[in-house]
Structure 1
Amino acid sequence: MIGRLRGTLISKQPPEIVLDVNGVGYEVQMPMSCLFNLPDVGAEVTLITHFVVREDAQLLYGFNTHAERHLFRQLIKAQGVGPKLALTIMSGMTAHQFVQAVSRDDVAALVKLPGVGKKTAERLVVEMRDKLQNWTSDTPATDAMPIDMNDLEPTVSAARPRDDALDALLALGYKPAQAEKAIANASKQAPEASSEELIRAALRSMH
């Protein structure tokens, strides 16, 4: 089990990053709410990780705090929720926002996420309520607030930020038409935006 990684951030290709740990590059998938809080490429970072072994793949999921990983692990225990959907849920809202939605029985907020229908949202509220009853977050102060584009220092991960942003949303499960519309609108408002900025703006517009 790989539970923690510390190394140099060498690539950001949302929702995946590559972390160099003593010469070994680890590919790590992260929720957008966690990835947005990472420093620039080249900085040293520490990630709390969850390792998934399947017949056809070995996958690492990364988080900034133990609380975020704990939420991820609780989500994948819920009926009908696998790692991919859990990643999507935690990309559409922060851990703190999800806990608030569950505590308020806010099904409407959950059904806005791709892959989460009304029945799934209602089931999540019921199954997660007791598990998160004594929730204590060790996340940074920014995690307790809605995602704000002004908190992000621009980081260009590739020469085509618009295409990269679209690929990221599709990887998270958003429908092509929905993702394309959101990215197009974000691009019009900020033509020179990086892929991360476009993703952040698109997610905000859809939620």
Structure 2
Amino acid sequence: MIGRLTGVLAEKQPPFLLIDVNGVGYEVQAPMTSIYQLPALGERVTLFTHFSVSENAQQLFAFKDKDDRLLFRHLIKVSGVGPKLGLAILSGMEANEFVQAVLNGESTRLVKIPGVGKKTAERLVVEMQDRLKDWSVAPTESSQDTSASENPGQQGLSQNDMIAEAESALVALGYKPTEAAKVIARVSKEHTPSRSEELIRLALKSMLPA
């Protein structure tokens, strides 16, 4: 099992990443909450991984820290929650935010995430409350809010390319193409993000209940 990768960030097409480890390229999928924290292309990065094997695919999922990977592993143990949905959940909400929603029984905060209907949200709350009761939730600043200025890893993209990349990322996370295009268009008019990761962050945030 591959538990950790350290190498050069060679490609970034959210939610897919390519990590060059001594000449071997590992294609991984990462939640947006981890992608927001990545350095520039060509820089070295360490990611904690989870290897998933199913009848149809072998996939490697990557996370910036062990807590996110642990939460992902808890998520995919819930009935009806597979790796794709687990990735979507951790893209739409940071780990601490999700844990707080579960511990507070706020299933309505989860239903805006693609693939999470009312029954799935209620199941997540019921099945994960015991697993997360000892989780330490610290009131920290969101890494999503600071990464845009600290990690200028996406220079040179035109506005159209940035919008296309953001739409593609939302579709990969489970949103319908028309829904992705609509929300990206709205957010790009309301804000002036310089990176597609920031545009994706704003779009995901706008679709979640306050």
| TM-score, length of structure 2 as denominator length | 0.89
Q: Is 1:5 aligned with 2:8?
A: no
Q: Residue by residue, what CA displacement relative to the aligned partner does 1:61-106 show, whole Å, maximum 9, x if unpaired?
A: 0011111111000100000000000000000000110000001000
CA contact 2:41–2:154 (8 Å) conserved in 1 = no
Correspondence list, 1:114-133, <5 A: 114-133=114-133
- The percent of aligned pairs where both chains have the same amino acid is 55
- Structure 2 equivalent of residue 102 of structure 1: 102
State the distance in 2 between where 1:151 and 1:64 align. 13
Local SS of the residue matching 1:147: helix
Structure 2 distance, partners of 1:118, 1:101, is 14
Is the contact made by 1:5 and 1:47 (CA closer than 8 Å) also made in structure 2?
A: yes
Distance 1:76 1:205 in 2: 25
Unaligned runs of 5+ residues in structure 2 are: none
Whole-angstrom CA distance in 1 between matches of 2:80 and 2:59: 19
Q: CA deviation at 1:201?
A: 1.4
CA contact (8 A) 2:40 2:154 kept: no
Higher alpha-carbon deviation: 6-15 or 197-206 = 197-206
1:111–1:118 contact (8 Å) kept in structure 2 = yes
Q: Distance in 2 between matches of 1:87 and 1:5?
A: 18
CA distance in 2, matches of 1:91, 1:47: 16
Contact 1:28 1:61 in 2 (8 A): yes
- Give the whole-Å Cα distance in 2 for the aligned partners of 1:11 and 1:140: 32
In the other structure, the counterpart of 1:69 is 69
Aligned to 1:200: 201
Aligned to 1:42: 42
Residue 153 (structure 2) pairs with residue 152 (structure 1): no
- What TM-score, normalized to structure 1? 0.91
Offset at residue 151 of structure 1 (A):
3.3
Deviations 1:103-133 (A, max 9, x none): 1000110111111011110010000000011
Q: 2:177: which partner in 1?
A: 176
Using the TM superposition, name which of 155-164 and 74-83 deviates more.
155-164
Aligned residues: 203
Checking the alignment, whether the CA contact within 8 Å between 1:6 and 1:47 is kept in structure 2 is: yes
What CA distance in whole angstroms lies between the structure 2 residues aligned with 1:106 and 1:192?
Answer: 30
The aligned residue for residue 90 of structure 2 is 90
Shift of 1:206: 1.0
After TM superposition, give the deviation of residue 156 of structure 1 in Å.
Answer: 2.7
**Is the Cα–Cα contact under 8 Å of residues 187 and 193 in structure 1 kept in the other structure?**
no
Q: Does the CA-based 8 Å contact 1:67-1:136 persist in structure 2?
A: no
How many Å separate the matches in 2 of 1:74 and 1:140? 22
**SS of 2:144 mapped into structure 1:** coil
| Displacement after TM superposition at 1:55 (Å) | 3.2
Report how far residue 146 of structure 1 moved: 7.5
State the Cα RMSD in Å.
2.0
